Structures are given as C-alpha cells and as structure tokens.
Structure 1
Amino acid sequence: MLTTTSDEISLAQVWAELFRRKILIIVSGFVCAAVAVAIALSLPNMYTAKVLTVPKTDDQGALGGLASSLGGIAGMAGIKLGKSRGPDKTLIAIEILKSQRFINQFVEKHNLVVPLMAAKASTPNTFELIYDEDIYNTVTKKWVREVKPPKTVEPTPREIYDRFLEVFEVNFDPKDGFVDLSIEFYSPDIAVEWVGLILEDINEEMRQDDISEAQASINYLNETLSKVNNTSIQASFYQLIEDQTNILMLANSRKEYIFKTISPAIVPEKKSKPNRILIVLAGGIIGGFLSVCWILIRFFNRTL
C-alpha cells in the first residue's frame, strides 16, 4: 500500500509539474510549428504526372509449335522465334528504362540537362521554371556551380542519372500486368511532357531493336538458304523467314510497340508534395514532445 501510495503521489507530482510548465510546452509547440511553417513555405511545389500502360504481347498462334520444332535451327542461327520473345520483353524494357545508358541518352536527346539539374521551383500561375543562379547562369547560359573533384562544373553523366531517378519512377504489377511510369517535377506541364517522351522513346528503342534483329535474321536466312539443297531444311528456313517477317511487319506497323497506353498522363491540378499541413502539425507535436521530455528530465534530476 505504501508503494502504491508513493507511486500515485509521484505520478500526481509529474502531472502537477507538467501542468505548472504548460505555458512552456505550449510555447515550444508554437515555436516549432512556426519553424515548420517557414520550412514548409520554403519547399517548392511538386507535381506528379503518371501514365498507365499495358505491355503488348504478340499473337503467337502456331508460333509455339514452330518454336519447339525449329528451335535448334533458330538457335544455331542466332534467331529469336516469336515465342522466345514473349514474357521477358516487358522486364527487359523496364530494365532499359532504369538503365544509365538509356536515361543519359534520353536527357541529352531532349535537352533536359539544364531544367533537370538547375531548376529549383516554378512560378505559381504560369509554372515557368525558376533556376538556381548559383548552379546555372541563365544569362550567359553557362554552368557556374562550385564542386570538388572528381565532379566538374558541368553535371557528370552519373549525376544526371541519379537526379533523374529522383523524379522518375516505373512500377510493374506482375499480378495485373500493368506498368505505370511517373514523373514528379516542379512544373505540371513539364512532368506530363517528360513522361510522354520517355514512353515514346522506350517504345521506339524496342521497336528499332526488333527491326534490326529481324532484318539481320532475314538476310542471314536468305543467304544461307541459297546454299541448302535439302528440301525439308529449306521448308524450315522458309518458316523461319516467315516468322521474322511477321516480327518486322508488327514492328513497322505499331507505334506503341511494347507499352500500350491505357490511361494517358494528364496535367495535374494539385501538387503531390509537400504536405504543408502535415509538416506544421509534425513540427508542433515534436516541439511539445521535446519540451515535455526536457521538463521531465529536470524534474527527475531534482527529485532523485
């Protein structure tokens, strides 16, 4: 009973001490909330544009049987039959999308280095990019940032790649098969433009790769066919040529070659970041919590 009474008295003393210092707790919460307001207002608005796609799969038909019956010949010739190109094509495209080679080429092709590396915000109404003059001089059109070696004044390919991965995201849902690409940037218009361009470029790259491979295979088969006298082998080669011709036809006729757009990107009307209300609330709670901890530490140091 004495222990219980002592505990109750101690708990009452703690509550009494906190109540006595309530002004400090409230003021600390307000001060930290005010700091959080300043931080939240200093953060630029970010807008996310997203496009939902579904991978295109070729109609295999009888190519499955062709793949098994002619697999040996095709393998020796270094030729991909339709069936062998199927499921993994999506994963290949996704890995290419995330590769440094593709991203660096994409940024260079569309002249995105300056907005990607030097922009720090956008204007409220027109969403024109605002550049950091300590990084890039918009008057002289020169990079002026101060960096330490091995970095250079101009952003390196690795820096460009790392920065692009901060604004770009690709997600694949293996259950439903959908692939979504998203860009988060200071300007909603630019976010939509970039995500559209990257979808267009990956489709074009995969399309051109298949065109080149199919054409090279057809050329090889035609050249080899002229040296073959066995009629059954000739028939097999004709089937292989037909398969590669089908690939060539599909590649030349489809603009959305690997990813078909289900839901195109639209200009976002609302920012995706920052959540200023959450930042302010978190600041106030943290301020109050820290003040309570400080009060309790001082209280126990006095009483123990």
Structure 2
Amino acid sequence: MTQPTEQTTIIGEEVHLMAIWRLLMDGKWTIIFWVLVGFGALFFTATQMTPIYQSQVLLEPVIEEGQQNSGLLSQVGGIAAMAGINLGGGNATTDAAIAQLKSYNFTERFIEDKGLLPILFAEEWDAKQKRFIPDEDGNIPTLWDGVELFNEDIRAIKVDKKTGLVTLTIEWSDPTLAAAWANELVARINAHLRQTAIEEARKKIAYLNAELARNQIVEVKSAVANLLEVQIKNIMLANVRTEFAFQVLDAAVVPPQKAYVRPRKAIMAALGILIGGFIGIFWVALRDFVHKHG
C-alpha cells in the first residue's frame, strides 16, 4: 500500500509542476515585459543618481617616544611620587588619537575653518544671495547638522586589528574634494596632537623646574632632572616630527571620474530584473486565479 501511495504523490507533484510551467509559458510575454520595466526603471534611476567617489589614506600609528621611555619614567617616577611630584598621564595612545579624529569638536573646527556647510548642504544654499534657504519650519543647516552628516555618511575610520594600520576613508560627490579632505584631516590631527603634546610638556617642565628648586633631597633632584630631560626631548621630537601621531603610508589621490563607488549600476540593474520578474510572475498568477474563480 505504501508504494502506490508514493507513486501517486510523485505523479501529483509532477502534474503540479507541469501546470506551473505551462502557466509561466503562457504568461511569458507578460513576465518579460515586467522584467524589462524593472530593469529599465532601476537602471535609469542609477544613471540619474549623483556619483559618489571614495578616497583613502593609509596610516601607521607612530610609536610614542614616551612609551619608549616607559622604563625610565617608571623608575624615576616612583622616586618623584614619594616626594609628592605627580606628572599625571603619559602621551596619548593610538586609540585616543583616533577618538580625537572622530570627535565632535575636531570635526566642527574642520567644517567651520573650511567653510564646508554650503558644500555639504548645497541644495539648501542660495549661491546668489550667499545664504541658506529656510525649510517649511524656518530651519537652516547648522554646524551640528554638518558634523552629523560628516560622521555618518562622509568619513569612516577603520583599524586593522592584525597590522594596527588605520584607514581613513572619505566618500563624496567631488573626487577632488574627497582626496583633499582626507589628506587635510590627517595633517590637522597630527598638527593638533603635536601642539597639544608640546603644550603639556611645557607645563610639566615648568612644574618640574619648580619642584627642582624646592626639593633638596639628592635622589629626588636626580629623578626630577631625568624627568625634565624626557620632557625636553619630547618637545624637541614634536618640533621636528610633522607626522606626530600618524605616519602616512599611502596618501589619498583623486579617483578617476569613472571610478565612483555608488551607484552600482550593474547591481541595481540586476535588482530591477529580479523585482520585475517577481511582479510579472505575481501578475500572471493573479490573472490566472481571477480567470478560474471569476
């Protein structure tokens, strides 16, 4: 009894598949029509979209001189701490440098200094009157809006966990601006962290000089002198090292006009074919259902 039942099931499935095949063949021109419509619609949409270009800078974090002198600092720092001398934290780490690069204040200064708001929100900018056109609620783009757009849609930072290398990526509709922004952001963060390190070292030197004059203990004076030497060396290195936090291994270049990353016309066209095919099959099936049950 089992064998005939299985044969009947197989025959039923074959008949069902044949019915579906005949239905699709009967409606093939309808399906082809919708495939062409889907293909044409999404391909046309892709051609009307603004091309987005990508420019990247490959960076290697610079080994901090303060980290190299960590052994000396731990030795003399212990003696200095016993005398009540506290220099606070050491040099910024790579994570801190990346955090600075991503920070709101750093990005805000970049946008403000470069006057980027009219570029970032070109559709709302009246070039003749040199002002933004308020929306229905009377609002215009602000620096906050610019920073949010820049952080979410324009700039990306990726760290390779294996090599430690950092990739800064800028995506924008103007390939020349994309490359310029990427390179300038790196130059700015290096200059900013370099200046910050110099200022911190100068403060520490002033503090250490005061402690050197105040303390009469030979061991403490020797420890303070060593700490002073480290801070002076840090200032000297910062003054001569322009690539203070990140060394540029591969600077950003202007991508060719045809080398845009979005829109991806081939993918959109393929998606249009799939959507069109689905609509065509659904239309044929619906028409057959209405014909049989109408």
Correspondent of 1:278 among 264, 267, 276:
267
Q: Matches of 2:134 and 2:238 in 1, distance apart?
A: 44
Q: Matches of 1:277 and 1:4 in 2, distance apart?
A: 40
Correspondent of 2:185 among 188, 193, 198:
198
Counterpart of 1:162 in structure 2 is: 148
Q: Matches of 1:24 and 1:204 in 2, distance apart?
A: 64
Is 1:107 the counterpart of 2:111? The answer is yes
Is 1:243 the counterpart of 2:230? The answer is yes
Return the offset for 1:175.
Answer: 1.3
Asked if structure 2 preserves the Cα contact closer than 8 Å seen for 1:117 and 1:163, the reply is no
1:78-115 Cα offsets, whole Å, 9 max, x none, are: 4257xx43xx6111111111111111111101111111
The residue identity in structure 1 corresponding to 2:240 is S
Q: Matches of 1:208 and 1:273 in 2, distance apart?
A: 38
Return the offset for 1:299.
Answer: 4.5
Give the count of matched residue pairs: 282
Counterpart of 1:140 in structure 2 is: 129
Q: Matches of 1:44 and 1:62 in 2, distance apart?
A: 48
State the superposition RMSD in angstroms: 2.2
**1:21/1:77 Cα in 2 relative to 1: closer, same or farther (>3 Å)?**
farther
Asked if structure 1 preserves the Cα contact closer than 8 Å seen for 2:58 and 2:251, the reply is yes
The residue identity in structure 1 corresponding to 2:93 is K
The residue identity in structure 1 corresponding to 2:225 is Y
Is 1:79 the counterpart of 2:87? The answer is yes
Between 1:107-116 and 1:64-73, the stretch displaced more is: 64-73
TM-score when normalising by structure 1? 0.86
1:193-251 Cα offsets, whole Å, 9 max, x none, are: 11111111100111011011100000011012111111110000001111111111111
Asked if structure 2 preserves the Cα contact closer than 8 Å seen for 1:74 and 1:80, the reply is no
Correspondent of 1:52 among 50, 53, 58:
58
Q: Matches of 1:175 and 1:298 in 2, distance apart?
A: 58
Counterpart of 1:124 in structure 2 is: none
1:20-61 Cα offsets, whole Å, 9 max, x none, are: 000111000101111112211111111111111101113569
**1:177/1:147 Cα in 2 relative to 1: closer, same or farther (>3 Å)?**
farther
**1:2/1:148 Cα in 2 relative to 1: closer, same or farther (>3 Å)?**
same
Q: Give the structure with higher Rg (CA).
A: 2
Structure 1 alignment gaps of length 5 or more: 119-131
**1:74/1:298 Cα in 2 relative to 1: closer, same or farther (>3 Å)?**
farther
**1:211/1:66 Cα in 2 relative to 1: closer, same or farther (>3 Å)?**
same
Return the offset for 1:62.
Answer: 7.1
**1:78/1:192 Cα in 2 relative to 1: closer, same or farther (>3 Å)?**
farther
Q: Matches of 1:186 and 1:77 in 2, distance apart?
A: 54
Between 1:13-22 and 1:53-62, the stretch displaced more is: 53-62
Structure 2 alignment gaps of length 5 or more: 1-6
TM-score when normalising by structure 2? 0.89
- In percent, how many aligned pairs have the same letter? 28
Q: Matches of 2:54 and 2:81 in 1, distance apart?
A: 45
Asked if structure 1 preserves the Cα contact closer than 8 Å seen for 2:85 and 2:211, the reply is no
**1:193/1:34 Cα in 2 relative to 1: closer, same or farther (>3 Å)?**
same
